[in-house]
Amino acid sequence: MASCLTLKKSNCKNCYKCIRHCPVKSIRFSGNQAHVMEDDCVLCGSCVVVCPQNAKQIVDETEKVKILIQSGEPVYVSLAPSFAANYEGIGIRGMEAALKKLGFAGVEETALGATVVKREYERLLREEQRDIVISSCCHSVNLLIEKYFPEILPFLADVQSPMQAHCAAIKRAHPNARTVFIGPCVAKKDEAQRYSELVDGVLTFEELSAWMAQAGVVPAPVEEEQNDEGLARLFPTSGGILKTLTEHVPGYAYLVVDGMENVIEALQDIRQGRVHRCFIEMSACPGSCVNGPVMEHRKSLITSSLAVNTYAGEKDFPLEQPEAVLLRKDFANLTRKKDQPSPMELQKILKQMGKTKPEDELNCGTCGYNTCREKAVAIYQGKADVSMCLPFLKEQAEHFSDSMMRNTPIAMLVLSEDLEVQQLNLMAQKLLNIRYPGDVLGDQIVRILDPTPFVQVQRTGRDIRDQLVYLAEYDRYVEQTIFRNQETHNMLCILRDVTEREEDRLRKDDLKRQTAEVADQVVNKQMRIVQQIASLLGETAAETKIALTKLKESANDE
């Protein structure tokens, strides 16, 4: 059986909102994606409605229906009575005119099927005197009972839904016809697949409107014959089935339960034997079908209900009631046995989640599960993982951050947007001579450091990286890094103490300077000696030259 829901992975943002709203927790979280588990899903559509990123999408059958029309066989529409709220003011004749432009052979109201269904409910109560009868119109409720409350299957009315009854009537009237249901429900797509001999395709109101827009078809009101028929048009409203009943069998209570939480609670009461002699109209959607998950124009429940009430009649459609056997519907036990962890395995998982004692089990529900133990069971069953516990991750992150701040050999300070000290580590205390963190927390940074570079970073948005600064007050050299977190607007200051390196550099620089001075002195002294030697050598040479000249002259005279 084909899936009715798909996941658009690029849109799934790891928010767990669909898990929180899923009444049966049929969503498996893996690979940071939330996947619908078809075998467990009851197709209530909650995940589609609440997903903030439209990651859950309904499988569109528009192309399938177009192919049915192109096949040449007549295709008839069974139009859900909630159309009166979705296409308010149009009426069945106006919708028929619009849909025929798309190629449909005819359009009828599903309320015709609802009429024969409610009569069959009356017969069951009147003739069979069953202890409890639960209406079978809502396929999500049917799936819920089949998958999670199989012991209640005998109480579920084995009667076709209005969609099935109507489509079966169309096919009896037109033996070669194909049928397409159009309504506000995701679950009807699955119901059509399970009973494909009756229903050939299902479109949502959204799919129909998109198709009409693409084809340039605009539904418009068409004058209709005025009569007081159409009481069964009330079916999609809360208590609509009960409003259509023309007789109440004595000894029975007639109750309405809508919304999955209320339905599950009622089924639990029935399971525990607390309920007897009741006819219960059940609907998965709060307010029934007019508040369906894919009503295209989502109005208030009151507005939608009023639109349907206004369009409904006061009498039944004049229809011939089919034989009861033609309205029979079979259900199946679809429960799947799920492995449960032993107490020791459960405790092991809870420990992995950081839940080592009862007070650690916050049961906050942010992961999507009602309790920490329920989430631990889901982890055991492969539906969840430890990382989904936000308080645990927050605590882990804080421990890691505290450990890093506490043990790093670098001084770190966190400042608020107003340049107030919010956090500092032990190395910062030592470097800045702070005895207790409380002495400076909440104070302006100017109390312990020059605020100029912080103001500069805040004003320009440009970080300062490894800036060498001498902290005269503390007689320390540091490499200062300051950057601003654009999301939190906090500022982080990292001070790496390089005093020893800088003092060593200064000592080497001083030694170089002293060496250079000594070298200059030696060179200067040597130059003076050389000059003195040169001067003496010059006087001696001159005297020698004079003496030799005189000797030469004397020799020449002789």
Ordered DSSP codes for 172-186 = HHSTT-EEEEEES-S
Strand 278-283 vs strand 132-134: parallel, antiparallel, or unpaired? parallel
Q: Is 219 left (phi over 0), alpha (psi -120 to 50) or beta?
A: beta
d(C-alpha 242, C-alpha 252), whole Å: 12
Name the amino acid, one letter, at 123.
R
Per-residue pLDDT in tens (0 to 9) along the chain, 558 residues: 567 888 887 778 778 888 889 999 999 887 778 889 999 999 999 998 888 888 888 999 999 999 999 999 999 999 999 999 999 999 999 999 999 999 999 999 999 999 999 999 999 999 998 999 999 999 999 999 999 999 999 999 999 999 999 999 999 999 999 999 999 999 999 999 999 999 999 999 999 999 999 999 999 999 887 888 999 999 999 999 999 998 899 999 999 999 999 999 999 999 999 999 999 999 999 999 999 988 876 678 899 999 999 999 999 999 999 999 999 999 999 998 888 899 899 899 888 888 888 888 888 877 878 888 988 898 888 888 877 777 766 666 666 666 766 778 899 999 998 999 998 998 999 999 999 989 999 999 999 999 999 999 999 989 999 999 999 999 999 999 999 988 878 899 999 999 999 999 999 988 888 888 887 888 788 878 877 776 776 666 666 666 556 656 665 555
- Within 272-389, residue ranges assigned H as helices are 301-311, 343-352, 372-380
d(C-alpha 378, C-alpha 368), whole Å: 11
Exposure of 123 by Cβ count < 10 A (0-12 exposed, 13-18 middle, 19+ buried)?
A: middle
SS3 43: coil
Residue among 486, 498, 484, 497 at smallest CA distance from 414: 484
Q: How far is CA 474 from the centre of its chain?
A: 51
Structural domains of the chain, with CATH: 60-220+231-327 (no CATH), 342-375+382-407 (no CATH), 408-501 (3.30.450.20)
